Structure 1
Amino acid sequence: MKLKQTFTKLGLTLLTGAAFLGVLGVTSSSKAANYQSDLVSQKQLTIGLEGTYKPYSYRQDGKLTGFEVKLGQALAKKLGLKAKFVPTKWDSLVAGVGADKYDLVLNNITQTPERKKNYRFSTPYIYSRYALISPKKAKLTKVQAIKGKTLAEGTGTNNAQVAKKYGAKISASGEFANSLALVRQGRADGTINSLEAYYAYAKSNKKVSDLNVTDLSKQVKPVKVSALLKKDNRQLQKAVDQALKQLAKDGTLSKLSKQYFGADITKAPK
């Protein structure tokens, strides 16, 4: 009798355990389904970027490379997905997320109150510093000195926002190299851009002695650069945040930063 009761209790225990595991399975698959439903295409992470902004994303021997390209590939791997990149011009890049052309944008995009109204951001993966670049003879070293000056900036970029904030006029320029050309030709008094982008440019372009470059870190706060996602894609944001946390912990973020920027700019400045 006791033996029968023991087997009966054991059976109930096994059934209870199986039911519990079943609930966990449903919960787990439900979460996975929610996350997968955020994707534009199943089994791949579709990423929008410009592909013309060294060292973030650019082409070398016809192939996309750069910090954000390698980051995108690492993110996709952590999520168990394949990375697919969609090069897009800046003017329509951000809007492409809302139009479901890709799952997220990796393009040196900072968190701003205006953007947060319409889009979702991951945790920051780098903290970008601004640089003020002008002709050597101009000696523009203070951000306050750009008031009334014409600066070559990408329309709607963080750089343009800073320039406008301090009273500069904007001359539209889509690419960093083009901005520097406008400065050299005297068609712009200068340009505000990321210090990291300038370092990368200087590595492959020896003729920079005609430019004056000022690190604005002590004048303008470094900005948080994050992945930009569709407002509704909360589950995908959580998955990306978790993947970024893992990439920071295993040293991947730091390694990529040093490789492409020459320093670790993945941690918040103290």
Structure 2
Amino acid sequence: MKKKGIITKLLLVAAVLGVAGVLTACGSNSSDKGGSSYKSELTESGKLTIGLEGTYAPYSYRKDGKLTGFEVDLGKAIAKKLDVKANFVPTKWDSLIAGLGSNKFDVVLNNVTVTNERKKSYAFASPYIFTQYVLVTKSSDKNIKNLKDIKGKKFAEGTGTNNEDVAKKYGAKTIPSDQFVNSVNMIRQGRVQGTVNALDAWNSYAKSQSTKGLKARAIPASEEPFAQVSPMLNKDSTKLKAKVSDAIKDLRKDGTLAKISKKYFGKDVTMENN
């Protein structure tokens, strides 16, 4: 009888442990699907650490000493959807991607265009901007009318940017420039003959700065497709990428993306056919 009682107790314990195991497994699966496990991929607990320049209006810049701009508001909105705080880390462009690779940031929001080359090393969440290019030269320059005319000409471009890629694609000799304002000044000084950049960056510049002596031509999509701008993350941040993508889709659906865009650009640049 004692032996039979011991066996019965052992079977009961095993059954209880088995049920607990099943419940634990279910909880784990639920956590993965529910999204809470993405937090293990964050560099700092409870915060979405965002790398950006903070010097590129209207995307991210300082106004009265305070960090502001489209991507700042976007970063806060994404973080809110993820139930964490947004932690912005202003960084020079040439150090942004390296900082992401060394896990200094969770994500980069800095008007980064999706390219096949970048996709080899990094992951991209859902796009939030579709950017039209602009060709800026001196107003007295009669030789440069479109992208085909820039072959062999000196153009000021940010190193490693999609603007530099476009300029090189059409045969321009690129001269490094870390800011759009500097690129414009280089044109004025005659150090370069032009620059390819985002139309929205030019429009923002034209609102606060004199454009005398300059001319800008918006490049139609038929000449050069609009750039697709997305959050850039590390390849192994798979769960975080999914959560950021979901957040952007929600923000697009509830009208937040369009609202932020109109605030800083005066129009909705978050749709492919803007």
TM over 0.5: yes
Counterparts of 2:87 and 2:186, CA distance in 1: 33
**RMSD, aligned α-carbons:** 1.8
Q: 2:232 aligns with which of 198, 217, 228?
A: 228
Specify the alignment match of 2:138 in structure 1: 135
Q: Trace 1:191-230 onto structure 2 (pairs within 5 A).
A: 191-205=195-209, 207-217=210-220, 218-230=222-234
Counterparts of 1:95-114 in structure 2, within 5 Å, are 95-114=98-117
- In structure 2, relative to structure 1, the CA distance for the partners of 1:222 and 1:30 (3 Å cut) is closer
Q: 2:183 aligns with which of 160, 175, 179?
A: 179
SS in 1 for 2:186: helix
Aligned to 1:25: 27
Which residue of 1 is the match for residue 262 of structure 2?
258
1:188 and 2:189 equivalent? no
Per-residue Cα deviation, 1:43-69 (whole angstroms, up to 9, x for no partner): 010000000000000001111100000
**Deviation at 1:258?**
1.1
**Residue 85 of structure 1 aligns with which residue?**
88
* Distance in 1 separating the partners of 2:259 and 2:22: 42
Q: Secondary structure at the match of 2:78?
A: helix
Cα distance, 1:267 vs. partner? 1.0
- Structure 1: gaps of 5 or more residues: 1-17
Other-structure match for 1:72 = 75
C-alpha distance after superposition, 1:228-270 (max 9, x if no partner): 0001110000000100010001101001111111111111128
Q: Secondary structure at the match of 1:95?
A: helix
Deviation digits for residues 55-107 of structure 1 (CA, Å, limit 9, x no counterpart): 00000111110000000000000000100001111111112111000100000
Deviation, structure 1 residue 155: 0.6
TM-score (norm 1): 0.90
**Cα offset, 1:28, TM superposition:** 2.6
Letter in 1 for 2:114: Q
Alignment-mate amino acid for residue 118 of structure 2: R
TM-score (norm 2): 0.88
Give the count of matched residue pairs: 253
Residue type at the aligned position of 1:100: N
Q: Percent identity?
A: 53
> Structure 2 CA distance, aligned partners of 1:22 and 1:117?
36
- Alpha-carbon distance between aligned partners in 2 of 1:22 and 1:104, rounded to the nearest angstrom: 31
Q: CA separation in 1, counterparts of 2:178 and 2:137?
A: 17
Q: Secondary structure at the match of 1:127?
A: strand
